[in-house]
Each structure stands twice: as structure tokens, then as C-alpha cells.
């Protein structure tokens, strides 16, 4: 359905046309407004008028004595009636002209006042319209601010409700994980001390499993993120996945025909992996490697594990990984990138089980010290570009200032919004 309202471009064009027409009319009126009155254009008019008035008031000639006087009186008696009519006519004509001239002068003066008032009105129209538009804009802004303020209050109230629902959801998820863990541990009845201990441990693990479900992502999201590592291990079987969690990477390797097995401390996660038919044992990652024969593996993988280990345990893991890998074997350790402020604040600090952040240079040095070669660091999980600081386009700033400002923006982005994770990749 088409809109009944013209678009902004059409309205702007119409406004420009109306403003041009208004300016043209005002210019024309300003040009026509100054005009002279009749007495100003004809300065001799008052003199001529006075002369005419004096002429039509003429008296009959004075008759003297003698024959001449009698002759004049006789002639006057003959022409007097005609002259009287002519005089009466002249008087009426003069009165008419006088009245017309008086009224014309008053009309012209009045017209000048009208035109002056009209010009003043036109000169005030545009400022009044501008003031009205400013008032309308101010009222619209105030109205919008009131609406936004009311919306903010409703949004804040809704946010509090959502936060409450989120806490309830987290609690329900933790309880669900505990229930599933306890049921899995109690499945091989009858209940015995080892089973009871396993049930208690499963209940403890369930809370952290719920935490991972809430913040680390769904199984599908983790599979999508870990899929990039699969090509590195296609020719490296058998592979060990340390801290395999719910088995996302193990399932990806299995789909590619790569033999792999995992180790996980969470009883609930081990049960989930075994339910999927994955080869997973419950236990400590370092002890798992210590139990492997020398050069028995082609690849060792651990995602989000290294930051959970104390320094001594991390050094031992690197040492055991180097021992159990055959020559040319591959080690990949993915961890949080502490050189990214957003990753450090939003990912690393959220998990209470993190031991310490691992600088990429530190982890690379420790791996090389244990004998690994071809050690490199690959940055992963870049921050959405829309969330980063934006550069300044070329514009009003001087060219040099724009360049310097954008260089500083680049440095801040590298510090604040660097990729959130990195992977240590090394060869035996």
C-alpha cells in the first residue's frame, strides 16, 4: 500500500518553491510601494488651483458716468444672464474639481499607509513562520523526550523482570543438570558407596555444567567454532581431546573418520559423551597423558583448558604432551586472549575456575622450552567490526589530524577489541 504522505525530497522541493515565490512577491511589493502623491508629482498644482478659484469668483465691471458708462451698463444688462449661467457653471466645475482633488489626495495618502502596513506585514510573516516552526520543533522534541522517558521506564521495569526470569532460568538449568547427573550415577543399581560418591560428585559437577551451558554456548555453536581445527588433525590419528566437555570436537573428528578419545573431569559431561557413543574417560587431563605410552599419539587438542591449570600443572601438561606425541605430532591449545580487553573482562573474569590468564608470548615460550618446534599463535574469534571504534572519515579536520586520530583509533581497537581467543599450534 502506497503512503498518502509525500516523501521528504518532495516536501523539501515544495518548500523551496514556496520560499522563492514569497521572495519574488516581497521584492515586487517593495519595488511598487514607494510612490509620490499628486501634489508631490505636480508642485504647481496648488498655484493653478488657487488661480482657478480666484477667476471664477470674478465681479461685474464698475459702470462709470456718461455715455460710456451707460453703454457698459446696457451691454452688461444684455450679457449678464449668459454670464450668470456661465459663472454658475464655472462655479460647479471648480467645486467638482476641488472636491475630486481633495478626495484623490486623501485616497493616495491612505493607499500609501495601506501599502506600508502590508509591506510591514510581509516582512514579519517569515520570522513568525520560523518562530512557529521552532516552537513546533521544540514541542515535538519535548514530546519525543517524554515518550522516550516513559519507554525507558517501561524498559527498565521489563529488564528487572527479565533479570529475575534469567536468574530463575539459571537455577532451573542447574537443578536440571544435577538431576540428570544423579540419575546417570544411580543408574547401575544397587546403590553402593562408590555409586553414592559418584552421585555426589555428579551433583557438584552439574552446577558448572549448567554454567557452561549458559555462557559457553550451545552444542551447535561450539561445533561451529571448533570445526576450523578439524583439518589440522585429519592425518594425526589417534588424537587426544583434553577436557573434551560435551564431546563436540570428538564428534567432529569421528565424522571425518579420525580416531580420537577424550578425557573430562565432569561426570555429567562424561555421561553425555558416552551417551553419544564417544570414547571418553573421567579423570584429570595431565594424569591421562601421563598414562599414555611414549609417541603413542598423533595429536593433542585442548580448548579452554590451559587457563584452568596452575603453572606447575601447565608445565607438566606441555611436557607430557611432548612425550606422548610421535615426531611430527601436533599440539593445539586454545585459550582466552588476555590481550583483548573485551575478552578479559567478558570471558575470562566470568569463570571462577580460571586459574590465570595466559599471554600468547608466555604460552609460546613454554611450549618451545619443552622442545616443541614450529610454534605459532593463531588468533581466533574476532570481535564484530560493528562493536569496534570507528575511524573518522576525511572531512573538516586537517589531513594530518585525521590520519593521527585514525591511527590512535586503530591502536585502541587492537587493545580493546582484539580477537577474543588464540590457539597455540606446535609440532613435536
Three state DSSP letters for 227-247: HHHHHHHCCCCCEEEECCCCC
pLDDT tens digits, residue range 208-267? 555 565 556 788 888 999 999 999 999 999 999 999 988 999 999 999 999 999 999 888
Question: CA-CA distance, 206 to 210, in Å (whole number)?
Answer: 6
Question: Is the model more confident about 278 or about 45?
Answer: 278
pLDDT for 2 equals 45
Average pLDDT over residues 279-307: 95
Q: Which fold has domain 218-427?
A: Rossmann fold (3.40.50)
Could you tell me which residues come within 8 angstroms of residue 85 by beta carbon, excluding any fewer than 6 positions away?
none
DSSP SS3 for 398 = coil
Question: Is the model more confident about 163 or about 110?
Answer: 110
pLDDT score of 102 more than 80: no
- Among 32-46, 337-351, 396-410, the range with the most confident prediction by mean pLDDT is 337-351
Cβ–Cβ under 8 Å, residues 285 and 314: no
pLDDT tens digits, residue range 116-138? 777 766 666 666 666 666 666 66
- Among 10-19, 83-92, 351-360, the range with the most confident prediction by mean pLDDT is 351-360
Which of 414, 411, 353, 418 lies closest to 383 in space, CA to CA?
Answer: 418
pLDDT for 318 equals 96
Task: Using DSSP bridges, classify how beta strands 280-282 and 373-380 pair: parallel, antiparallel or unpaired.
Answer: unpaired
User: What burial class does residue 280 get, using C-beta atoms within 10 Å of its C-beta: 0-12 exposed, 13-18 middle, 19+ buried?
Assistant: buried
Cβ–Cβ under 8 Å, residues 338 and 357: yes
User: What burial class does residue 209 get, using C-beta atoms within 10 Å of its C-beta: 0-12 exposed, 13-18 middle, 19+ buried?
Assistant: buried
Cell numbers representing residue 153 in the block: 521506564
pLDDT for 1 equals 45
Question: CA-CA distance, 56 to 50, in Å (whole number)?
Answer: 10
Cβ–Cβ under 8 Å, residues 232 and 249: no
Which of 262, 293, 268, 303 lies closest to 280 in space, CA to CA?
Answer: 262
Question: CA-CA distance, 328 to 107, in Å (whole number)?
Answer: 113
pLDDT level of residue 15 (50, 70, 90 thresholds): confident
Percent of the chain with pLDDT over 90: 29
Domain borders along the chain are 21-53+81-169, 218-427
pLDDT for 164 equals 59
pLDDT score of 409 more than 70: yes
pLDDT tens digits, residue range 157-199? 766 665 656 666 666 666 666 666 656 655 555 545 665 555 5
**Least confident residue range of 186-195, 318-327, 403-412:** 186-195
DSSP SS3 for 317 = helix
Amino acid at each position: 500500500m502506497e503512503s498518502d504522505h509525500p516523501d521528504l525530497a518532495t516536501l523539501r522541493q515544495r518548500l523551496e518553491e514556496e520560499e522563492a515565490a514569497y521572495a519574488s512577491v516581497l521584492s515586487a511589493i517593495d519595488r511598487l510601494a514607494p510612490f509620490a502623491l499628486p501634489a508631490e508629482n505636480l508642485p504647481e498644482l496648488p498655484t493653478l488651483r488657487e488661480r482657478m478659484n480666484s477667476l471664477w469668483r470674478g465681479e461685474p465691471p464698475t459702470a462709470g458716468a456718461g455715455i460710456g458708462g451707460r453703454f457698459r451698463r446696457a451691454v452688461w444688462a444684455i450679457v449678464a444672464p449668459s454670464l450668470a449661467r456661465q459663472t454658475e457653471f464655472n462655479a460647479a466645475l471648480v467645486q467638482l474639481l476641488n472636491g475630486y482633488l481633495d478626495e484623490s489626495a486623501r485616497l493616495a495618502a491612505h493607499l500609501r499607509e495601506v501599502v506600508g502596513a502590508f509591506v510591514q506585514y510581509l516582512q514579519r510573516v517569515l520570522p513568525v513562520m520560523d518562530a512557529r516552526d521552532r516552537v513546533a520543533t521544540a514541542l515535538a522534541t519535548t514530546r519525543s523526550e517524554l515518550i522516550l522517558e516513559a519507554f525507558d521506564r517501561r524498559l527498565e521495569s521489563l529488564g528487572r523482570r527479565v533479570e529475575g526470569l534469567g536468574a530463575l532460568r539459571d537455577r532451573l538449568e542447574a537443578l536440571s543438570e544435577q538431576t540428570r547427573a544423579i540419575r546417570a550415577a544411580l543408574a547401575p543399581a544397587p546403590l553402593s558407596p562408590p555409586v553414592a560418591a559418584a552421585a555426589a560428585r555428579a551433583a557438584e559437577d552439574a552446577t558448572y555444567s549448567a554454567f557452561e551451558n549458559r555462557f559457553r554456548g550451545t552444542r551447535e555453536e561450539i561445533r561451529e567454532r571448533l570445526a576450523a581445527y578439524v583439518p589440522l588433525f585429519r592425518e594425526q590419528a589417534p588424537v587426544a581431546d583434553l577436557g573434551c566437555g560435551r564431546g563436540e570436537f570428538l564428534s567432529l573428528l569421528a565424522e571425518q573418520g579420525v580416531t580420537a578419545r577424550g578425557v573430562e573431569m565432569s561426570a555429567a559431561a562424561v555421561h553425555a559423551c558416552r551417551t553419544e557413543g564417544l570414547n571418553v574417560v573421567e579423570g584429570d587431563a595431565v594424569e591421562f597423558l601421563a598414562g599414555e605410552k611414549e609417541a603413542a599419539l598423533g595429536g593433542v587438542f585442548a580448548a579452554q583448558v590451559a587457563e584452568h591449570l596452575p603453572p606447575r600443572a601447565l608445565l607438566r601438561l606441555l611436557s607430557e604432551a611432548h612425550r606422548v606425541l610421535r615426531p611430527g605430532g601436533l599440539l593445539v591449545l586454545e585459550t582466552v586472549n588476555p590481550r583483548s580487553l573485551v575478552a578479559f573482562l567478558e570471558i575470562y573474569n566470568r569463570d571462577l575456575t580460571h586459574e590465570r590468564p595466559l599471554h600468547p608470548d608466555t604460552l609460546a615460550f613454554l611450549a618451545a622450552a619443552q622442545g616443541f618446534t614450529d610454534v605459532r599463535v593463531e588468533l581466533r574469534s574476532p570481535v564484530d567490526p560493528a562493536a569496534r571504534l570507528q575511524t573518522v572519515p576525511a572531512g573538516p579536520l586537517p589531513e594530518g589530524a585525521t590520519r593521527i586520530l585514525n591511527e590512535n583509533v586503530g591502536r585502541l581497537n587492537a587493545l580493546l577489541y582484539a580477537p577474543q581467543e588464540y590457539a597455540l599450534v606446535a609440532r613435536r
